[in-house]
Structure 1
């Protein structure tokens, strides 16, 4: 781990109320897919009791050689200042952190059960595994209210079309989802077992809002998953 001062290269809206930030990559920086960094604003124009630092996962895999974060833009002092940053503005980065990374045994399936912006570390892990052509069977349940609310959905759909090892199951929970033909409603045991034949076998990765992560943990336990094979990354206050 180390501290860096890095510049913003560009920012873009990638889903409803969701922004991606592209940062300068420090020369000597390395990280594992799934890890995150602490981003601290420098002399922000406003602050609040939550402080000037937030943890953001790296969206891209190491082999993609880009430093990108993404977040829902809520009405907090930190997010207002972050959203108003312009290319060339600097922040402090303390990274890398975290052990929410893909397991090494390629014969053991990986099943991701993800809500919303919890996709950020998972997109990194899946992209890196596909780039390295590992043999992990990967299944991603990806829950959002609507397709417009789902960061990186089209990119993940393209990955799934190109790679036989990767199965994408997008799930929409909202009422206004248009002509959606995929899974709808909340992920439950019946949905899980439609797509995962041997529930006890995979290693599971849960990422998203804290309440959803806890609910999915209980669902997996009830469905027969091995609790030692459930890994979690909770996104609180994003």
Structure 2
């Protein structure tokens, strides 16, 4: 009788289902909320750089559905999972997002079911290798996880954060990251607005890939990138990075 060996990816071996409770809800912008969940059973989750979880969503038609969200909390907070969730309201014939609607309606004290952690991103932990983080909209979550974790564990590692927003109403976490950049000279922060900025705006303007092109050197061969945001942004940034000699296998992205 033939013997078949089934290899399970290492990152799936730690996947579990968790009962969790909402302990904090913060409105970051007009359509993005930060939700923090305290893990109850089991009480800790062994997540790492760039990982994500699945949230169980009650659905009247299908019973329960799952939606994936990147973890924004740093890797040291094993008892807490933090998410950034953008609300997707109904637009014409396009129905509202079931996951984002459910999560935006949660209140402190509500209990949820999470499954995870998931993720195949492997951070190059060498202090000599730069990490280029580029995000837009709700694509901030994995950037926050990566940056806070790296600053705590590999503070000498060069890290760039490029974040694109439409208007000043869509900007969040900027003050937090700029304060961190003052304390950590290897951490650089660039925000850019794609629409017309008001007179008080002192950041960059234009699409975020233009800032990536402006600030980064022309030889990114040994370095690594993590991109998260809408497909046109990912495609434009990827083209810039490839033109600057970054190897394709060193570019990790999450399009949504």
Report the TM-score range of the alignment, normalised by the length of the smaller protein: 0.7 to 0.9
Residue 221 (1) aligns with residue 242 (2): yes
Give the Cα separation in 1 of the matches to 2:19 and 2:77: 21
CA gap 1:174/1:195 in 2 versus in 1, 3 angstroms = same
Equivalent in the alignment of 2:144: 123
Give the Cα separation in 1 of the matches to 2:179 and 2:123: 21
Equivalent in the alignment of 2:124: 103
Equivalent in the alignment of 2:12: none
19, 23, 26: which is aligned to 2:33?
19
Give the Cα separation in 2 of the matches to 1:155 and 1:90: 29
Where in structure 1 are there 5+ consecutive unaligned residues? none
1:64 to partner: Cα distance: 4.0
1:200 to partner: Cα distance: 2.9
* Deviant stretches of 4+, over 4 Å: none
1:192 to partner: Cα distance: 3.0
1:206 to partner: Cα distance: 1.2
Equivalent in the alignment of 2:214: 194
Q: What is the correspondence of 1:85-234 to structure 2 with a 5 Å cutoff? A: 85-188=106-209, 191-197=211-217, 198-234=219-255
58, 61, 67: which is aligned to 2:71?
58
Contact 1:40–1:93 at 8 Å: present in 2 too?
yes
| TM-score between both structures, scaled by the size of structure 1 | 0.87
What secondary structure, in the 3-state scheme, does the structure 1 residue paired with 2:145 have?
Answer: helix
Task: Encode CA deviations 1:83-138: one digit per residue, 9 max, x unaligned.
Answer: 22222222211110012353222211111122221110111111011112432111
Equivalent in the alignment of 1:71: 85
Equivalent in the alignment of 2:92: none
Where in structure 2 are there 5+ consecutive unaligned residues? 1-14, 90-95
Give the Cα separation in 1 of the matches to 2:168 and 2:137: 11
Give the Cα separation in 1 of the matches to 2:16 and 2:28: 29
Structure number with bigger Rg: 2
CA gap 1:17/1:178 in 2 versus in 1, 3 angstroms = farther
User: Once superposed, what is the RMSD of the aligned Cα atoms?
Assistant: 2.2
Give the Cα separation in 1 of the matches to 2:100 and 2:225: 31
1:149 to partner: Cα distance: 0.5
| TM-score between both structures, scaled by the size of structure 2 | 0.81
Residue 32 (1) aligns with residue 48 (2): yes
Task: Encode CA deviations 1:32-89: one digit per residue, 9 max, x unaligned.
Answer: 0321100012x45x568xx732111111102245321111111123322222222222
CA gap 1:137/1:47 in 2 versus in 1, 3 angstroms = farther
Number of matched pairs: 231
